[in-house]
Amino acid sequence: MTRLRTRTNTCTKLDIRTVAERADVSIATVSRTINSIPTVSPLLAERVWKAIRELDYYPNSQARSLVSGRSRIFGLIVPEITNPFFPELVQGFEDIAVENGYEMLVSSTNNDPGRMSVCIRRMLERRVEGVAVMTFGVEEPLLQQLSERKIPLVLTEFLLDTPHVSTLLLDYKMGFRLGVEHLVKLGHRHIAFISGPLALHSARTRREAFLASLKEFQLPIRESWMVEGDHTLEAGVRGFQALADQGEIPTAILCSNDMTAIGVLKAAYHAHVRVPDDLSVIGLDDIRFSEYTLPPLTTIRLSGVEIAQAAFHALQAQAESEKGKDGVRKYPISTSLVVRESTAPARTINIFPFPR
Amino acid sequence: MTRLRTRTNTCTKLDIRTVAERADVSIATVSRTINSIPTVSPLLAERVWKAIRELDYYPNSQARSLVSGRSRIFGLIVPEITNPFFPELVQGFEDIAVENGYEMLVSSTNNDPGRMSVCIRRMLERRVEGVAVMTFGVEEPLLQQLSERKIPLVLTEFLLDTPHVSTLLLDYKMGFRLGVEHLVKLGHRHIAFISGPLALHSARTRREAFLASLKEFQLPIRESWMVEGDHTLEAGVRGFQALADQGEIPTAILCSNDMTAIGVLKAAYHAHVRVPDDLSVIGLDDIRFSEYTLPPLTTIRLSGVEIAQAAFHALQAQAESEKGKDGVRKYPISTSLVVRESTAPARTINIFPFPR
DNA sequence: CTGAGTAGAGAAAAGCTTTTCTCGAGGCCG
DNA sequence: CGGCCTCGAGAAAAGCTTTTCTCTACTCAG
């Protein structure tokens, strides 16, 4: 028989055995109850739940994963956390992960590829069941470490040619097509582009998608209007100046992310170039802030939350797939155009100097 | 004797025993080597490290913490991740935690106090060794759950009257004093305040600190100039309008965080109120973005990174303190004023209507 | 030269859970 | 009425590491 104890007994340790004793059942029965294994009679289950509530017991997840061989943790590697796009993505991932009984282990490389190895070591030590790598980057050799261990992996649009790797196909083509089309309809023919760092695979992909759209609409391509940035706000400021310094600037600037576009807005303001009257600006991402810039930013929407959810589903599909098939898939992520107030009909081509 | 194997042997499992066999030593010796316990002869240690490198072995952190009773995980609970202040804090915490061999478990309540219990359950299941609660909030009863289990806790300026709780003393008094002083020196005498949601303890504290500063400088206190917001950008927009609707607005608005201040900047712009010529605006936080608003925001700096580091040190001190003392302390966090371009000498009091 | 002490290393237990194995009781069919 | 099957539940093993206990061989002092 179980002796009654006070509810707040802080002295004894609180493990599954304690619960079993209090409910007067075996340890196995408690475990089965917790895991909703149906071979427990309702009578005992009720006793167990009562004991759990009274003791305020929480199973030790470390012991659980040790024995079950499943950590129920997914890793998420992001390049930085300063760019608001990524917090949105992280939050989206946390939400869906927790909802589905998984834990999330975030790690940021802080835009330093050298830190990727630290991130991966953390993932391996915690025995994550999958990793979503959102750095849009170039660290194939390191990722091999994961895929060699058959750890499910999700990458964005970069095709690592190994098993256990799912891919998110971000539809930049469509996005830039919509953006350029929008500008063309407004009468723009001279469009500049501020890219991300071209060392990044995704930055090159975006640039190519932009160029493809220019070709599609038979717009002129001028090398000097293709400026390389680094996805920061400062890159937008510098990019605008680089364009302005050429003495003649296009009537529209398309940026490969919103932070850059916001930098362009700021630089344009200081140069007394009016947006959208003198210059149309389009970003990419649709971060929250874009709605609140002056003027509100027209942008190509790429939903961080949608990416996060797709990444989670990809990992879950792989982690929980049957032995036979590996659950690897490609997940298309669509883009769309959000028209706000940073774009307007083109004037004639802007001839510098604007007042600086 | 150990048989030589190919480097990429993917078939066998990779645990400490594998390493021991390959290095031809006992499991205990491998463990001691990994943990830098000095009773291992250099010769064996070298053999062990070689085997670890060759096998690319990473210890299973779950098994480690299960047996050692130390998870080396600290929890971090934040209210939201959309407000850029928190990503900065999270990043700061991750950096210092990883640097010191700890793991971080972030959890966001998404501004929904109801989600706090989910956050706490995650913390308890993962057996964190401490939790930093950065919600600036009101969830004492829930936190009892943690302190009852003797889990080290760090809170911001709210004094939970139990052991195992360290406190970060954010010096709002000094911050608002500096802000108000700055405005007074510029000739302002009519200062409004947009607070956070007054249900939050910290919002009330900030409000009181502001009022104390008004008194100190013998400025008029007008209830209608004390607007309640909710720390969002929209709150700044609404707050400005609420003040404008009164027909007469003060010459300066102090906001209880930067997002609100940015909202005020936006609303003022749309109302054709020029900042700083017609209206001075001061925020609080000094998020990265504040440097890039139009105009750049004068703000009371409260460093998320500094808070994160203090929180980590507080938890570490408690987690690693000797049995005798509990390591509980109070950590002062200083504030300072960052003067940018959203403040300027006061004109005469603004009389509405501005064009809306 | 002998005995005590110590350093270095292995064997084994412990930590908390899941999961497999085992067992008894009860139901059903022939 | 007996044998087989199934259901419900307990006992015990397993999972991977740390840590304690134990043992051997050596050093050094008397």
In this predicted model, what pLDDT tens digit does every residue of A304-344 receive, in sequence order? 999 999 999 999 999 988 655 677 889 999 999 999 999 99
Lookup: nucleotide whose C1' is closest to B67 CA: C15
Our CA angle for B118, B123, B124, nearest 5°, is: 95
Q: Which residues pair with B331 in a beta bridge?
A: B168
pLDDT of B9 reads 42
- Determine, for residues A62 and B262 on separate chains, whether the beta-carbon distance falls below 8 Å: no
Give the containing element (helix H, strand E) for B78. Answer: strand B73-78
Q: Cβ contacts (< 8 Å) between A65 and chain B: which residues?
A: 62
- Determine, for residues A127 and B60 on separate chains, whether the beta-carbon distance falls below 8 Å: yes
pLDDT of A4 reads 36
Beta strands B350-351 and B248-249: pairing type?
antiparallel
Q: Measure, in angstroms, how far nucleotide C22 C1' is from residue A148 CA.
A: 40
pLDDT of A157 reads 72
pLDDT of B207 reads 96
On the question of pLDDT at A208 being above 60, the answer is: yes
pLDDT of B141 reads 77
pLDDT of B254 reads 98
- Determine, for residues B125 and A61 on separate chains, whether the beta-carbon distance falls below 8 Å: yes
Name which of A82, A87, A103 is nearest B81 (Cβ-Cβ). A87
Of A77, A27, A41, nearest to A311 by C-alpha is A77
Q: Cβ contacts (< 8 Å) between B150 and chain A: which residues?
A: 10
Name which of A82, A125, A269 is nearest B58 (Cβ-Cβ). A125
Q: Give the closest-approach CA distance of A237 to chain B in angstroms.
A: 10
- Cβ count within 10 A of residue B172: 24
Any strand D atom closer than 7 Å to B27 CB: yes
| Whole-number percent of chain A with pLDDT over 90 | 77
Q: Write the CB contacts of A316 (distance below 8 Å, at least 6 apart in sequence).
A: A100, A102, A130
pLDDT of B12 reads 66
Name which of B59, B121, B126 is nearest A125 (Cβ-Cβ). B59
pLDDT of B356 reads 40
Confidence of residue A144 (pLDDT cuts 50, 70, 90): confident
Q: Measure, in angstroms, how far nucleotide C7 C1' is from residue B10 CA.
A: 38
* Mean pLDDT, residues A214-243 taken together: 96
Chain A contact probe: residue of B11, B14, B62, B107 with most A CBs at under 10 A: B62
* Mean pLDDT, residues A135-143 taken together: 75
* First-residue to last-residue Cα distance in chain A: 87
Chain B contact probe: residue of A58, A265, A266 with most B CBs at under 10 A: A58
Q: Which residue has the tokens 């709605």?
A: A291
pLDDT of B145 reads 85
Q: Cβ contacts (< 8 Å) between B294 and chain A: which residues?
A: 266, 269, 294
On the question of pLDDT at A5 being above 60, the answer is: no
Q: Give the closest-approach CA distance of A217 to chain B in angstroms.
A: 35
Q: Which residues pair with B74 in a beta bridge?
A: B104, B130
Q: Give the closest-approach CA distance of B217 to chain A in angstroms.
A: 35
pLDDT of A219 reads 95
Lookup: nucleotide whose C1' is closest to A64 CA: C17
A278: left (phi over 0), alpha (psi -120 to 50) or beta: alpha
> Around A33, how many Cα atoms within 13 Å sit in the side-chain half-sphere?
23
On the question of pLDDT at A355 being above 60, the answer is: no
- Determine, for residues A58 and B110 on separate chains, whether the beta-carbon distance falls below 8 Å: no
Name which of B82, B94, B126 is nearest A288 (Cβ-Cβ). B82
Q: Measure, in angstroms, how far nucleotide C6 C1' is from residue A335 CA.
A: 71
Tell me which of A52 and A1 has the higher pLDDT: A52
pLDDT along chain B (356 residues), means of 10: 38 86 95 94 94 96 95 95 93 96 95 90 96 82 85 82 86 97 96 94 93 96 95 96 88 97 95 94 96 94 97 94 73 97 82 46
Which residue in chain A has the smallest CA separation from B60? A125
DSSP structural state of residue A354: P
Lookup: nucleotide whose C1' is closest to B13 CA: D16
* Mean pLDDT, residues A269-280 taken together: 94
Q: How far apart are CA A176 and CA A337, in angstroms?
A: 9
On the question of pLDDT at A275 being above 60, the answer is: yes
Domains, chain A, in order of start with CATH, read 16-59 (1.10.260.40), 71-170+304-334 (3.40.50.2300), 172-302+338-351 (3.40.50.2300)
Q: Cβ contacts (< 8 Å) between B122 and chain A: which residues?
A: 98, 103
pLDDT of B5 reads 36
pLDDT of B114 reads 87
Lookup: nucleotide whose C1' is closest to A32 CA: C18
Per-residue HEC secondary structure of A224-272 comes to HHEEECCCCHHHHHHHHHHHHCCCEECCEEEECCHHHHHHHHHHHHHCC
Lookup: nucleotide whose C1' is closest to B29 CA: C9
pLDDT of A179 reads 98
